[in-house]
Amino acid sequence: MASELAARVISSLALAGLALVSAWYGGIALTIVWSVAAIAVIWEWLKLIGISGGSLVAFWIFGAASILLSAFSDTLFGLDNYAMLWPAIIAALVLGVVALLRKHSFVWTAAGPLYAAIVVLAPIWLRGREPDGLVAVLWLFLVVWISDIGAYFVGRRIGGPKLWPAISPKKTWSGLFGGLFFGTLLASGFVLLDRMVVGPIFIGGIGLFILTLATSLVSELGDLFESAMKRHFGAKDSGQIIPGHGGIMDRLDSFVAAGLFAVIVLDLFGF
């Protein structure tokens, strides 16, 4: 147990450091780092849903190409905001139809390129905000990371009734509320501190706490979604690439859900 926790901590710190460096520099550095992550995610997604052999390689190459086109679509095609999803949408439809012809699920296959595209587009969209892009991305990182850490340690410390044992046997209600509490408190505290030191360039007031709480909840729901998906396909982890964590999808499930939710809400309410 101690060795597993040490592996989780070391790999988490390494991944967090890479994410922070990409956020700090933004631009091409951020796009490359998150494109690599998204390409890994589409591979794990396709394997998880049962695509194998030559079809797996062909589907992955096509999906990876669509992700790169989406990630660089602002430069290549002049697309911006949600229009950057078009290459991934086209790939989703093509792969879904081909999968259906080969007796695979249209829905699960088509969802893969879209899910993976959000991995890279969510940080691009947030980092591209002016003038608060860096703060927005760092806030999102903190919401996801602290919610996950809080849920893990509070759940292990307090225990109690299980949250959804049929989907994720280890998760507890105490862990859920612990993650929500610490994720909201610390991520909101970071923004408030930044507003005092730098200035009010990001949402503040009660709106900040509501948005942070909702994003923390969505991040935990994203974790549950992937747990349900793995249970549905009879898998323990999405992959084995990260010591103590499994696959890239296992690390980014909360981030995908929280990132998309945050982008939509911030745009919808004009924050």
Give residue 84's Cα distance to chain centre.
Answer: 17
Phi, psi of 118 (to 5 degrees): -65, -30
**Contact of 135 with 200, CB cutoff 8 Å:** no
More confident residue, 251 or 124: 124
CA distances (Å), origin 23, targets 32, 126, 164, 219, 220: 11, 10, 34, 19, 22
| Percentage with pLDDT > 70 across the chain | 93
> pTM for the whole thing?
0.92
> What integer pLDDT is reported at residue 5 of this predicted model?
56
Alpha carbon distance 14, 93 (integer Å): 35
Q: In the prediction, which pLDDT does 127 show?
A: 95
Write the pLDDT tens digit of every residue in 82-111: 999 999 999 999 999 999 999 999 999 999
pLDDT 10s digits, 148-157? 999 989 988 8
pLDDT at 270: 74
Residue 162: beta bridge partners? 172
> Would you say how long the chain is, in residues?
271
